[in-house]
Amino acid sequence: MTQMENGIDLTTIEHRHRYSDLRKFVYNPPTKFHFNGLPDSVPFAPTGLDNAFGMAYMHPVASIVDRSRGMPDDLTFEARDCWLLWKAMVKYQTASFPVDESLDPSVALPSVIRKVDIINWEARLKPLLKTWIMDPKSPFDLVLKALEFSVKSAQRPDIQISSGKSRQPECSPTVIRNNFLDTTVPLICSLHEQGALPALFFNYDRGACEALCEIVLSEFEEAEEKWKASNSAWKAKVTAFESWKISKDKRAKKAAPVDVKKGKKGNDQISREDRMLEEATAEASVFESFDPEAPLEGFHLADVKKLTPSEFEAHAQELRGRFVPERLIAALRRGIGVHHAGMNRKYRQVCEILFRKGYLRVVIATGTLALGINMPCKTVVFSGDSIYLTALNFRQAAGRAGRRGFDVLGNVVFQGLPYSKICRLLSSRLPDLHGHFPITTSLVLRLFTLLHESKQAPNPVRMVNSLLSCPHIYLGGGEARDPVLHHLRFSIEFLRRNHLLGPDGAPLNFAGCVSHLYFMENSSFAFHALLKDGYFHGLCRDLDTRTEQKLLMLMLVLSHLFGRKYLRLSALENQKTAFKRSTSVIVLPPMPGKAAKVLRRSNQEIFQTYSTYVKTFVDQHITEPDWELPFTGMKCGGDIEVKLGQTTGQSPSKYTSAFYALSGHGDEWSNISDLCEKVRSGVWLEKAVVPYLGLYPEEDRVPLNAYLYDFFKHGNVNAIERDNGIRKGDIWYLLNDFSLVLATIVTSFENFLKLAPGTEADIAEVMGTGDMHEEEVDMGAMHDGSGGMELGNAGGVLSRHMPQTTTARSTAALMTSAKTIKKKKVVSSWEYEDVEESGGDEDDGAPAASDFWDDDEPAAPWDGMDRGGIINVLKGFKLLQAEFNTKFRGMWA
18 falls within a domain? no
Of 453 and 89, the one with more pLDDT: 89
888 falls within a domain? yes
Residue 875 and residue 787 in one domain: yes
Residue 318 and residue 405 in one domain: yes
Strands 55-58 and 21-27, by their bridges, are antiparallel
Residue 133 and residue 176 in one domain: no
| pLDDT per residue as tens digits for the range 309-352 | 889 999 999 998 888 899 999 999 999 999 998 888 889 999 99
Please report the pLDDT score of residue 354 as a whole number. Answer: 94
**What does the pLDDT average to over 262-272?**
53
Cβ neighbours of 355 (radius 10 Å): 25
**What does the pLDDT average to over 4-29?**
82
Highest mean pLDDT among 49-53, 198-202, 603-607: 198-202
56 falls within a domain? no
CA gap 673, 665 in Å, rounded: 15
Residue 112 and residue 192 in one domain: no
* Weakest-pLDDT range from 143-152, 481-490, 786-795: 786-795
CA distances for 479 relative to 188, 474, 483, 494, 535, angstroms: 55, 8, 8, 25, 43
**What does the pLDDT average to over 810-839?**
39
97 falls within a domain? yes
* pLDDT surpassing 50 at residue 693: yes
CA gap 645, 638 in Å, rounded: 16
Residue range of the domain that includes 95: 61-147
Residue 109 and residue 201 in one domain: no
* Weakest-pLDDT range from 602-606, 637-641, 822-826: 822-826
Residue 345 and residue 408 in one domain: yes
Tell which phi-psi region holds residue 523, choosing left (phi > 0), alpha (psi between -120 and 50) or beta: alpha
**What does the pLDDT average to over 862-867?**
51
Of 88, 121, 147, the position where a domain reaches its end is 147
Of 303 and 465, the one with more pLDDT: 303
501 falls within a domain? no
| pLDDT per residue as tens digits for the range 659-668 | 777 777 777 7
**What does the pLDDT average to over 117-136?**
92
List Cβ neighbours of 59 (8 Å cut-off, separation of 6 or more): 81, 84, 85, 147, 148, 150, 151
16 falls within a domain? no
% of the chain residues with pLDDT over 90: 24
- The helix (H) or strand (E) run that includes residue 411 is strand 409-415
Of 840 and 423, the one with more pLDDT: 423
Which is nearest to 207 in space by CA: 731, 633, 690? 731
Please report the pLDDT score of residue 571 as a whole number. Answer: 63
Residue 356 and residue 322 in one domain: yes
Please report the pLDDT score of residue 839 as a whole number. Answer: 37
Position 805 confidence tier, pLDDT thresholds 50, 70, 90: very low
**What does the pLDDT average to over 844-870?**
44
Note the Cα 855 to chain centre separation in Å. Answer: 52
**What does the pLDDT average to over 408-413?**
92
| pLDDT per residue as tens digits for the range 215-253 | 999 999 998 888 888 888 888 888 888 887 787 777 777
* Weakest-pLDDT range from 21-25, 308-312, 394-398, 750-754: 750-754
CA gap 865, 849 in Å, rounded: 7
Phi/psi of residue 40, nearest 5 degrees: -75, 135
485 falls within a domain? no
Contact criterion met (CB below 8 Å) for 303 and 335: yes
| pLDDT per residue as tens digits for the range 61-107 | 999 988 888 888 888 899 999 999 999 999 999 999 999 999 999 99
Q: Is the peptide bond before 198 cis (omega within 30 degrees of 0)?
A: yes
Contact criterion met (CB below 8 Å) for 72 and 197: no
Of 457 and 831, the one with more pLDDT: 457
Of 147, 180, 202, the position where a domain reaches its end is 147
Alpha helices in 754-837 (DSSP H): 769-782, 805-819
* pLDDT surpassing 90 at residue 362: yes
891 falls within a domain? yes
Q: Which amino acid is at 45?
A: A
CA gap 298, 39 in Å, rounded: 7
Q: Which residues pair with 704 in a beta bridge?
A: 566
Highest mean pLDDT among 10-24, 184-198, 263-277, 693-707: 184-198
Please report the pLDDT score of residue 802 as a whole number. Answer: 34
- The helix (H) or strand (E) run that includes residue 444 is helix 441-453
Residue 788 and residue 748 in one domain: yes
Please report the pLDDT score of residue 169 as a whole number. Answer: 44
Residue 318 and residue 397 in one domain: yes
Long-range contacts (CB closer than 8 Å, 24 or more residues apart) made by 831-839: 831/499, 831/863, 832/863, 832/864, 835/533, 835/534, 838/594
Of 412, 427, 442, the position where a domain reaches its end is 427
The tally of domains found in the chain comes to 3
What is the secondary structure of 277-289 as a DSSP string?
Answer: HHHHHS---GGGG
Please report the pLDDT score of residue 809 as a whole number. Answer: 40
CA gap 283, 766 in Å, rounded: 61
Residue 381 and residue 416 in one domain: yes
* pLDDT surpassing 60 at residue 263: no
Alpha helices in 231-304 (DSSP H): 232-254, 265-281
Largest Cα separation within the chain, whole Å, is 128
* pLDDT surpassing 70 at residue 858: no
Of 31 and 802, the one with more pLDDT: 31
* pLDDT surpassing 70 at residue 378: yes
* pLDDT surpassing 80 at residue 151: yes
* pLDDT surpassing 60 at residue 853: no
DSSP code at position 537? H
Q: What is the mean pLDDT of the chain?
A: 78
CATH of the domain at 318: 3.40.50.300
Of 709 and 521, the one with more pLDDT: 709
* pLDDT surpassing 50 at residue 795: no
**What does the pLDDT average to over 137-162?**
88
Instruction: Give the sign of the dihedral formed by CA 521, CA 522, CA 524, CA 529.
Output: positive
Residue 400 and residue 299 in one domain: yes
Residue 317 and residue 402 in one domain: yes
